[in-house]
A and B are shown apart, each in its own frame.
Chain A
């Protein structure tokens, strides 16, 4: 019975759409994963665009988390009901490149007979999403990971609130002090734990997978466990056993603990900055990610997401999509997006205007992650970040390895080896499935 109701409902909705399609507006569907405070910001931008362009209607549809949005897009593409634009997180980059389902954005102005200066976008973003120097997806919300810390807690434990830890040894040392002083029971948590693993490898210029992190060709195997990743896993496991590091769930789950003052430090995406600043009732400090001293310097890697354009659009649709993408690059729009979400400003002009109006001096926390990524090296595959076909699955395996190591089910070495075996099998299956 329930099913039947669904069918009837579906027919109804279908009819409604059909009736709508009669008027001359070009309707563009945009699937995205922007939840919480970011949803309103995106919807405002889209609404402004729609008022400005009466002949175009962008329909933003929230399709769940990044993971869900990507897999829904894949399912929809197979069923022939995919949207015009989809927001895909950096993990899905290689999958999208290999998909044969999209038009690389660099080709859109060429098709429409326009020229476009791709040099206006911030270089680390462009490099991450480029194949052979050509940009494949449109920069929207790029971020990286940084350290958030509770300055009030630091004061209570007798620590200098302007001297956050810069190495993992210091994290441990500060952690012990914070626990001994009775400020917190656990000190640090990781947002997107699987991504933090990736960040640390890149930060120390270590390859995650072969073929230059899958940038020179399809990766055939992951490079861990090696000496460095073992050291990393062992350090984290030790911190977890000492109660300093607490595994508090995935993605944005650990934010609640930080905002409530249950922990003092958080490694999390810059995209949480505005949410944290608005809700935390203490002084928030931010800094670069902790490192291992004596290890080579790399860079933190780009996270967040970009917009991908499906192939097979009509010329009108493509023009409408392109109008919208260009609109996102307008300095005022890029600034509005940055100020209200914490994601990087995407264009050089936006950065100049932000600087001229004194924004970074007024809100230095908005500069932290940006500086971190701008000062790092970007001439190696290792520092540019990883591109893997079955990356969603591999992230899942590395997350499981962290969970198993932290809880003591497996030793750090065993957990990493188990994840590596699964990851290598996934890479092989992927290459087989796309016929390479």
Chain B
């Protein structure tokens, strides 16, 4: 598989992943930046696991951007009055206020449907670390949801 095919195969997943981490409008820019940075040094096809490599690189880039701006990506997402089916704004803020690693873990496991082992491989972490992030994120959200 050549570099273009690898990118084409993983691009949309990476953009969604980045969007969850830095906000929907910046997701595509993050992915383009990361891929160009990788391509400046090597071919995607030379990587042992290009998909995992790109996911980790996107997470690192998102963390760097968040640390530079010191802001959460709330400004990129319109928060409207909640309908019956939509989460309340404070719940939305709580999720977007989670550390990037916790958001990444919850996104990969709860939205993308990965196992903790699969998520750990993509994030370059031990499964136990991912489980800890899930626990911390759930604890935070549970407090906001006030579920018993």
The reply to whether chain A is a binding partner of chain B is no
